[in-house]
Amino acid sequence: MNGKLFDFVNADFFKPLTSMYKDRFLDCILHIYEICKNEFSYSAPRNEIVDDLSSYFDPDESEFVLDGEREIAKNSREKASAVLRQLKSCGWIDEEIRSNHEIFIQLTEYTIPFIESIIGIIQKEELEYQGVISRIVMILKNLDHSSKPYEEIVMGVQEGMSQLVSELKRLNSSIKRRINELTSKIKPEDILDSFESYNAQIISKSYYRLKTSDNISRFRQDIYEALDRINSDPNIRKRAIAGYIEVKSKADEKISAIEASEMLASEVQEIRRNFDRLDDIVHEIDEKNRIYMRTALNRARFSLSAGNNVEGKINLILRELAAVDEFDFDSILLVNDIFAAFPQQFISDESLRTVAQYKKTGNIATIQNVKSISDEIKQARIASIKQKQQNQITPKKINQYVLELLGEKERISVKDIPVTDIKDFFKIIYIVVYGCHYQASYKIERHNERIVLANRYCVKSFDIIKRGKHHV
């Protein structure tokens, strides 16, 4: 990497985004970008931009004081002009006077990719992985017809592979954020909702297609064969080496044909290794997804089991009281009735008082011969282990349970599932979780309606639909 960032951008470039008005500055920057992006040179008349920013500031009646500004901007037009002056001084925009003496605002060249990156983060844009792989395959199919296989084929495939690996890594890192968000929730119904949003944001869309109908393995052999031809086909290899030398010469690097041949082979091999790495990344994404599902179930079970004890009820009361801004007289009396002080006859674990320790010397017992475990105890232990295995919930057991519920029906509602205790509610959670399992004989169709089961458990309504005999 040549040079440093602030050799190219203004030293105060990030100042607007770190000031007390950072949110307003960002909104104004995005407004300017939307106006300028369709023009030939990312520019627009200054008056047009001022009018747009003035409309943005219209509802805001607060004063606007920027660093370096001597006067306080009070009305919307003054605020818009102050923002433009600040953005110009920090290197975000520039001004130029055209032939008709009209002033134009123009985004600087290094500002544009930065703004586009911000938009990508805000909008949570997701790469269409399948499109990248298809583009790589189409590029490699032009090997025989390309006069410059290195510039047009190898470099194009390198760019596509780099983009694909980078986006999959970004997806991999986002799963950790989803897990962290999950562990902060406490309500079981929220956990069921999180499954739905998680499937929409991570498992569905392009990654789901990459794993199923548009699996990456469909193109693996074609890509490998094309990459091997670059090194094995004499005509393609000769043109590729010449292109490699030409590209390096433009960068003022002089290399021989032998060196170019070795470097070309190394780059082609690196592309193949990167393609092999995709399987490892996809495997890690699947593993993190498995951890997410297990964590969600543990959170649901913990919340449901701990929510009905005395400590859980007190925590719930305190949370509800903490959410109240002001107490009236009746509420204060209610709080007094709930809590009362009473004397303790024992020292709490949290007490600052030191507990007295008494030493007592006793008789040392002789070591007795250890008796062997009887067959009855062994058999009882084995029976206990088998019973635990039988009680363990697995995708296969849940699938059989759902098939028994469906019977001859093609579809049933969650309302039709009998719920008499907490174990039955756990089964509903497992039905939702294992509905996306590849061996499941059913699928889940969710609705926005919320229902209450057994006058106790609140969940989003869904239907269970029987799948055909042949499903993926």
- Using H for helix, E for strand and C for coil, what is the string for 61-125? CCCECCCCCCCCECCHHHHHHHHHHHHHHCCCEEEEECCCCCEEEEECCCHHHHHHHHHHHHHCC
| Residues in CB range of 444: below 8 A, 6 or more apart | 431, 432, 435, 436, 462, 463, 464, 465
121, 141, 176: which is the final residue of a domain? Answer: 121
* Count of domains for the chain: 3
CATH of the domain at 61: 1.10.10.10
Same domain, 151 and 300: yes
On the question of pLDDT at 376 being above 60, the answer is yes
Read off the pLDDT of residues 140-172 as tens digits, 9 standing for 90 and up.
Answer: 888 888 888 888 899 988 888 888 888 788 777
Phi, psi of 45 (to 5 degrees): -60, 140
Same domain, 32 and 114: yes
| Percentage, residues of the chain above pLDDT 90 | 11
pLDDT of residue 433: 85
Distance, in Å, from the CA atom of 127 to the CA atom of 131, rounded to the nearest integer, reads: 8
- DSSP labels, 181-209: HHHT---HHHHHHHHHHHIIIIISHHHHH
Question: Among candidates 203, 137, 127, which has minimal Cα distance to 165?
Answer: 127
Let me know if 137 is exposed, middle or buried by CB neighbors in 10 A (0-12, 13-18, 19+). middle
DSSP summary character for residue 151? I
Residue 1 lies in a domain: no
Measured from the Cβ of residue 360, the count of other Cβ atoms closer than 10 Å reads: 4
The distance from CA 245 to its chain's CA centroid, rounded to whole angstroms, is 42
Is the same domain home to 156 and 297?
yes
DSSP secondary structure string for all residues of 239-297: HHHHHHHHHHHHTT----HHHHHHHHHHHHHHHHHHHHHHHHHHHHHHHHHHHHHHHHH
Distance CA 167, CA 274 (A): 13
Helix (H) or strand (E) holding 465, with range, is: strand 457-466
Is 364 within a domain? no
- Going by C-alpha positions, the residue among 60, 100, 96, 98 that lies closest to residue 80 is 60
Spatial distance between the Cα atoms of 86 and 64, rounded to a whole number of angstroms: 12
Report, in angstroms and rounded to the nearest whole number, the Rg of the chain calculated over CA atoms. Answer: 33
CA distance linking residue 16 with residue 20, whole number of Å? 8
Q: Would residue 317 count as lying in a domain? A: no
Rounded-to-integer distance, Cα 158 and Cα 147, Å: 18
Q: 117 with 130, same domain? A: no
> Reading across the β-sheet that carries 442-453, which strands appear in turn?
411-413, 457-466, 442-453
> On the CB side of 226, how many CA atoms lie within 13 Å of its CA?
20
Give the separation between CA 244 and CA 264, rounded to whole angstroms: 7
Task: Give a yes or no: residue 375 inside a domain.
Answer: no
Confidence at 470, pLDDT banded by 50, 70, 90: very low
Report if residue 115 sits inside a domain: yes
**Judgement on whether residues 115 and 141 belong to the same structural domain of the protein:** no
pTM for this structure?
Answer: 0.48
* End-of-domain residue from the set 121, 149, 168: 121
For 414-456, strand residue ranges (E) read 442-453
The answer to whether residue 197 sits within a structural domain is yes
Kindly state whether residues 151 and 294 are assigned to the same domain: yes
Closest CA to 89 of 104, 70, 73, 67: 67
pLDDT at position 222: 85
Are 204 and 217 part of one and the same domain? Answer: yes
Pair 258, 161: CB distance under 8 Å: no
Q: pLDDT tens digits, residue range 329-340?
A: 555 555 555 555
Q: Tell me, yes or no, whether 64 and 194 share the same domain.
A: no
357 is a domain residue: no
Does 40 score more than 90 pLDDT?
Answer: no
Q: Is residue 373 part of a domain?
A: no
pLDDT of res. 331: 57
**pLDDT at 21 (0 to 100):** 86
* Amino acid (1-letter code) at residue 48: E
Q: Last residue of a domain, which of 306, 329, 353?
A: 306
Residue 33 is predicted with a pLDDT of 92
Whether 235 and 192 map to the same domain: the answer is yes
Same structural domain, 289 and 393: no
Token reading at 100: 């008709």
- Alpha-carbon distance of 177 to 200, in angstroms, equals 15
Are the C-beta atoms of 429 and 300 separated by less than 8 Å? yes
Q: Give the tens place of pLDDT for each residue, 393-452.
A: 888 888 998 999 988 889 999 988 988 888 888 888 888 888 887 778 898 988 888 888
- Percentage of the chain exceeding pLDDT 70: 70
Predicted confidence (pLDDT) at residue 304 exceeds the cutoff of 70: no
The answer to whether residues 230 and 131 belong to one domain is yes
pLDDT score of 226 more than 80: yes
Q: Provide the greatest CA pair distance for the chain.
A: 109
Cα distances (Å, whole numbers) of residue 329 to 317, 326, 332, 336, 340: 18, 10, 5, 11, 18
- pLDDT for 94: 92
Q: By residue range, what is the domain housing residue 251?
A: 126-306
274 shares a domain with 155: yes
- pLDDT value at 306 more than 60: no
